[in-house]
Amino acid sequence: MLPIGKNAKQGKRGILERLDAGEIVIGDGGFVFALEKRGYVKAGPWTPEATVEHPEAVRQLHREFLRAGSNVLQTFTFYASEDKLENRGNYVAEKISVSKTVLERQNKLINFKRVLHTSGEIKLTDSMFTQCQTVNEAACDIAREVANQGDALVAGGVSQTPSYLSCKDKTEVKAVFQKQLEVFVKKNVDFLIAEYFEHVEEAVWAVEVLKESGKPVAATMCIGPEGDMHGVSPGQCAVQLVKAGASIVGVNCHFDPEISIETVRLMKEGLQAAKLKAHLMCQPLAFHTPDCGKQGFIDLPEFPFGLEPRIATRWDIQKYARKAYDLGIRFIGGCCGFEPYHIRAIAEELAPERGFLPEASEKHGSWGDNLSMHTKPWVRARARKEYWENLKPASGRPYCPCMSKPDGWGVTKGAKELMQQKEATTEQQLKDLFHKKKF
**110-129: contacts with a second copy (CB under 8 A):** 110-111
| Cβ contacts of 416 within 8 Å, gap of 6 or more | none
Q: For residues 139 and 388, give the distance between their C-alpha atoms in angstroms, rounded to a whole number.
A: 38
Of residues 308 through 337, those in contact with a second copy by CB under 8 A are 308-315
Stretch that binds a second copy, among 11-19, 132-140, 233-241, 381-389 (CB under 8 A): 381-389
* Using rule CB under 8 A, residue 148 touches a second copy: no
Binding mask 93-112 for a second copy (x = CB under 8 A): -----------------xx-
Binding mask 227-266 for a second copy (x = CB under 8 A): -----------------------------x----------
On whether 253 is known to bind a ligand per the annotation, the reply is yes
Q: For residues 347 and 343, give the distance between their C-alpha atoms in angstroms, rounded to a whole number.
A: 6
Q: For residues 431 and 219, give the distance between their C-alpha atoms in angstroms, rounded to a whole number.
A: 38
Strand arrangement of the beta sheet that strand 217-221 belongs to? 25-26, 331-332, 279-283, 248-252, 217-221, 191-197, 153-158, 72-74
Of residues 9 through 38, those in contact with a second copy by CB under 8 A are 36-38
Q: For residues 310 and 302, give the distance between their C-alpha atoms in angstroms, rounded to a whole number.
A: 9
Closer residue to a second copy, CB minimum distance, 37 or 186: 37
244: left (phi over 0), alpha (psi -120 to 50) or beta: alpha
On whether 292 is known to bind a ligand per the annotation, the reply is no
Q: Which of 298, 319, 366, 413 binds a second copy (CB under 8 A)?
A: 298
Number of residues interacting with a second copy: please give it, by CB under 8 A.
Answer: 110
- Reduce the DSSP state of residue 437 to 3 states and report it: coil
* Using rule CB under 8 A, residue 344 touches a second copy: yes
Q: Which of 2, 8, 102, 400 binds a second copy (CB under 8 A)?
A: 400
* Using rule CB under 8 A, residue 374 touches a second copy: yes
Q: For residues 32 and 335, give the distance between their C-alpha atoms in angstroms, rounded to a whole number.
A: 9
On whether 140 is known to bind a ligand per the annotation, the reply is no
CB of residue 211 vs a second copy: minimum separation in angstroms? 26
* Using rule CB under 8 A, residue 428 touches a second copy: no
CB of residue 92 vs a second copy: minimum separation in angstroms? 11
- Reduce the DSSP state of residue 26 to 3 states and report it: strand
Q: Which of 14, 231, 301, 414 binds a second copy (CB under 8 A)?
A: 301
Q: For residues 356 and 375, give the distance between their C-alpha atoms in angstroms, rounded to a whole number.
A: 30
- Reduce the DSSP state of residue 311 to 3 states and report it: strand
Backbone angles phi, psi at 105, to 5 degrees: -70, -40
Q: Which of 30, 45, 270, 334 binds a second copy (CB under 8 A)?
A: 45
Q: Which of 82, 228, 299, 349 binds a second copy (CB under 8 A)?
A: 299
